[in-house]
Amino acid sequence: GAVVSQHPSRVICKSGTSVKIECRSLDFQATTMFWYRQFPKQSLMLMATSNEGSKATYEQGVEKDKFLINHASLTLSTLTVTSAHPEDSSFYICSARTQGGNSPLHFGNGTRLTVT
């Protein structure tokens, strides 16, 4: 149980275009989803916390107008990278919580974004 599906797994786009990444909880309802970014051989950097039906909470230094997050239902959150640039190339990972408090997060398999 507790499967998180992330789509697409890989995407290549041209500079200036926008890319949408979907994160779905397949067998549970996720009131909270988190979006992380991972640079090569580095740890995960939390970008934002996505709450169903409300605005996302962004971490310091993350541009909310560039990384648009929508959590429209209890099973789906989307991250849209707007006007992508090569420096946005990275591995993006979403995660979802099954319960509140200190329960573990379940992660998607990540999306490798390459901006040319």
Partner 1 sequence: GNSVTQMEGPVTLSEEAFLTINCTYTATGYPSLFWYVQYPGEGLQLLLKATKADDKGSNKGFEATYRKETTSFHLEKGSVQVSDSAVYFCALSDGYNQGGKLIFGQGTELSVKP
Q: Given candidates 46, 55, 85, 114, which one binds partner 1 under the rule CB under 8 A?
A: 46
Q: Per rule CB under 8 A, is residue 57 in the interface with partner 1?
A: yes
Q: Given candidates 24, 37, 71, 106, which one binds partner 1 under the rule CB under 8 A?
A: 106
Distance CA 39, CA 30 (A): 26
C-alpha neighbours within 13 Å on the C-beta side of residue 45:
14
| E-assigned strand segments in 1-116 | 4-7, 10-13, 19-25, 32-38, 44-51, 57-58, 67-73, 76-81, 90-97, 105-107, 111-115
In whole angstroms, the minimum distance from the beta carbon of 83 to partner 1 comes to 26
Q: Given candidates 47, 78, 90, 108, which one binds partner 1 under the rule CB under 8 A?
A: 108
> How far apart, in Å, do the first and last CA atoms of the chain sit?
37
Q: Given candidates 18, 103, 114, 116, which one binds partner 1 under the rule CB under 8 A?
A: 103
Q: Per rule CB under 8 A, is residue 6 in the interface with partner 1?
A: yes
Residues that bind partner 1 (CB under 8 A): 4, 6, 32, 34, 41-44, 46, 49, 57, 93, 95, 97, 100-110, 112
